[in-house]
Amino acid sequence: MSKTLVNATAVLCHLLEQAKPTVNGTTLLSGPFGEGGHELVRERLLVFGPTLTYVTCPDCEVETARVVRTVSVDQILLNCDECGEVDAERALLQTYTVSLSRLIDRLVSSLALPPTSVKVIDIDLSWRLGIEEHKRGKAQTWYFARHLNDHAIAKRLLEQIRADNAAQSAKIITSSDTPLPDGSPLSEYGVVNLAAVARLSQSRFIFFDDRVEVTLSQPDEESIPTTSLRYVREKAWAYVDGVKYELEGMQQKILLALMDAHAHRLEGKEIADRCGSEAFPFQPAKYFGRNNEVYRAFIKYVPGDKVYELNISKREP
Ligand SMILES: [Zn+2]
C-alpha cells in the first residue's frame, strides 16, 4: 500500500477485506495505516490477537525471523537466516484483530436499529443488521457484508434478501471496494462502501445522510397515544384515533405475531402457527368481529404477495 490511510474507517475496511482481519502492531500503529490504526484501537474496534514468535524479517522483508529474546520493554532481538541478528520493535510481535461482534453492534446502534434484530447470514462475513421503520411507512432493511467481491458470498446475501422480501428495501453496506465487479449477483443493488458513507466517531459511526438517506428515529412528540400498538404486549390494549380498545386474546396474539415478524409480514398459515391455531384457512379478520377498528387501522392483506402486513405507517413506537 503506497498511500497512507489516515481515515480510520478506510483502515477498518482494508483489514476486513483480508482473509483474517488481523495486523501486527508495527504496521497498524506506525506504518502506512497512520492515525487510523490508533483510532481503531482507541475505539476498541481492534482487540489484541495472538503474540507472534516468528515474523517476517524487518530488514530483508523476505525471510522469516525468529524471536531470540526481549531486550527492553519495547525492543526485541530477532534472528534471520539471511541478516543474522536484527533489532526490532516489540510491537512487531503484537497482533491486533478486528472485533467483528463490536463492529456489528456499533453499526446497529449507529443506525438506531433494534439491537436484537441482527441475523448472521454467513458466519463472520455477512449479517442482516435490522429493519429501520420510517413513520411514513416505508421500511429499509440494512445488511453488512465483507468480501462481497466474492460472488459466492454475494449470492448468499442475495438469497437472504429475497427470503426477507426485502428486494425493494435493502440497503447494503460493505467493506469491499465498490462498485462490485462485473457479474456480481448484487449488481442490481445499490451497494455502498462503509468508508464512503460513514466515518468513525466516538463510539459510533456517523453516516453522511445525504449519501445513504439515513433517517434516525424521531423522539416521541406526545405521550398520549392516538393510534398506537405500544400497549398491545403488556396490557392488551390498542389505540386508534385516541380511543382505547381492549383486545381479546386472539386479537392480541395476531397483532404480536405481526409485530414480531420480520418486516411485519406473515402468511395466514404462519400467523396461525404463531397463535397456536389449527384453523385453515386462517383469516385474521374473523377474529376482529369486535374491535374491527383495530383490524382496519393496523392489518392489511397484500394480495400479490399473499401476506398480511402490519400497517406501520399508522403505528407509533
Ligand atoms: Zn532478514
Model confidence at 1, pLDDT cuts 50, 70, 90, reads very low
- Measured in Å, residue 6 CA sits from the centre of ligand 1 at 29
Average pLDDT over residues 159-177: 92
Model confidence at 5, pLDDT cuts 50, 70, 90, reads low
pLDDT at 234: 80
Per-residue pLDDT of 281-290, as tens digits, reads 899 999 998 9
pLDDT at 26: 84
31-35, 239-243, 251-255, 287-291: which has the minimum mean pLDDT?
A: 31-35
Model confidence at 270, pLDDT cuts 50, 70, 90, reads very high
pLDDT at 313: 63
> For the packed helices 268-275 and 249-260, what is the interaxial angle rounded to 10 degrees?
120
With 70 as the cut, is the pLDDT of residue 316 above it? no
Per-residue pLDDT of 93-150, as tens digits, reads 999 999 999 999 999 999 988 888 899 999 999 999 998 876 566 788 999 999 999 9
Enumerate the β-bridge partners of residue 76: 70, 88
Average pLDDT over residues 247-272: 91
pLDDT at 221: 38
- Measured in Å, residue 78 CA sits from the centre of ligand 1 at 9
- Measured in Å, residue 72 CA sits from the centre of ligand 1 at 21
- Measured in Å, residue 65 CA sits from the centre of ligand 1 at 7
Dist CA 98 CA 18 (whole Å): 11
Enumerate the β-bridge partners of residue 96: 23, 48
Greatest distance between any 2 Cα atoms in the chain: 87
Instruction: Write the DSSP symbol of residue 248.
Output: P
- Measured in Å, residue 47 CA sits from the centre of ligand 1 at 29
Share of the chain above pLDDT 90, in %: 50
Model confidence at 218, pLDDT cuts 50, 70, 90, reads very low
Quick check: 247 and 236 in contact, CB under 8 A?
yes
- Measured in Å, residue 51 CA sits from the centre of ligand 1 at 20
Average pLDDT over residues 53-63: 91
- Measured in Å, residue 68 CA sits from the centre of ligand 1 at 14
Altogether, the residues listed in the chain come to a count of: 317
Average pLDDT over residues 240-259: 89
313 Cβ partners below 8 Å, 6+ apart? 135, 136, 137
pLDDT at 232: 87
Enumerate the β-bridge partners of residue 37: none
Half-sphere exposure of 280 (CA within 13 A, CB side): 4
pLDDT at 275: 92
With 50 as the cut, is the pLDDT of residue 183 above it? yes
Per-chain mean pLDDT for the chain: 86
With 60 as the cut, is the pLDDT of residue 216 above it? no
pLDDT at 222: 41
Model confidence pTM above 0.75: no
